[in-house]
Amino acid sequence: MTDLPMIPNPPTNAPNSGVVVIGRFQPLHFGHEILLNSAADYRDSNHPDLTLIICIGSSNRPQSLTNPWSADERSTMIEKWAESNEITNILICPIPDIEDPPNWVSHAEQYHGSSGVLVTTDLGTKELYRASDWDVILNPLEQRERFEGWRVRETARMLSTIANDEAIREVLGSLIPTVVLEHLIETNGLHRLAFLGEGGEPVG
């Protein structure tokens, strides 16, 4: 087990089974959008009465260039994205890391419920959930090199001291959905990346 705090604590009652997607969403980018749309389409076609449960991993990690946005901030990104895409009946579910893969599913089930359907692109996650008797839909990775989270964050970091919003839109608009990017611009959510002291060459 990890010494990281369990933030948040699991709910008193876990939600009912649903269609589950797990990601860190640091930030929500087009790779996430492809996965979320696929999960929503699968839910609507096969289990229209189930909730789409979108799990935010690493909810207990301290702020860093790898984890620049809090779970609450990432929840807002997801909410704005879902609303703009008219995706309803969702539950956003922050889950803390435990650094213990064999016990991950039993830990996560306290937050997202049990015996549902997992939609993922990650082979390791697929194996963990299938071993716990979950139905798993494994999607192919789409443009993995382009949409890797660290690449998106590093691109955003290089733009984090630029005051020209149009320049930011021109570059990041090919990586981050418009509604999420506009939210980050409006809340000055990119500026912090210049001062977190990690990654490539220092900015600013």
Domain boundaries, the chain: 19-138, 144-195
Question: What's the CA gap between 123 and 102, in Å, rounded?
Answer: 14
Instruction: Please report which confidence band the pLDDT of residue 3 belongs to, taking 50, 70 and 90 as the band edges.
Output: confident
pLDDT at 36: 98
Q: Structurally, what CATH architecture does the domain formed by 19-138 represent? A: 3-Layer(aba) Sandwich (3.40)
In the three-class reduction of DSSP (H, G, I as helix; E, B as strand; rest coil), residue 13 is classed as coil
Beta strand segments in the chain, E: 19-23, 52-56, 90-94, 117-120, 135-138
The strands making up 90-94's β-sheet, listed across from edge to edge, are 90-94, 52-56, 19-23, 117-120, 135-138
pLDDT in tens, 70-122: 999 999 999 999 999 999 999 999 999 999 999 999 999 999 999 999 999 99
Q: What is the mean pLDDT of residues 125-146?
A: 88
pTM of the model: 0.92
To the nearest whole number, what is the mean pLDDT of the chain?
93
State what percent of residues in the chain have pLDDT above 70: 93
Residue 126 has pLDDT above 90, yes or no: yes
The pLDDT confidence band at residue 197, using thresholds 50, 70 and 90, is: confident
Residues 6+ apart with CB under 8 A from 107: 95, 98, 100
d(CA 152, CA 162): 16
Percentage with pLDDT > 90 across the chain: 88
Characterize the bridge pairing of strands 19-23 and 117-120: parallel
Compute the average pLDDT of residues 139-167: 87
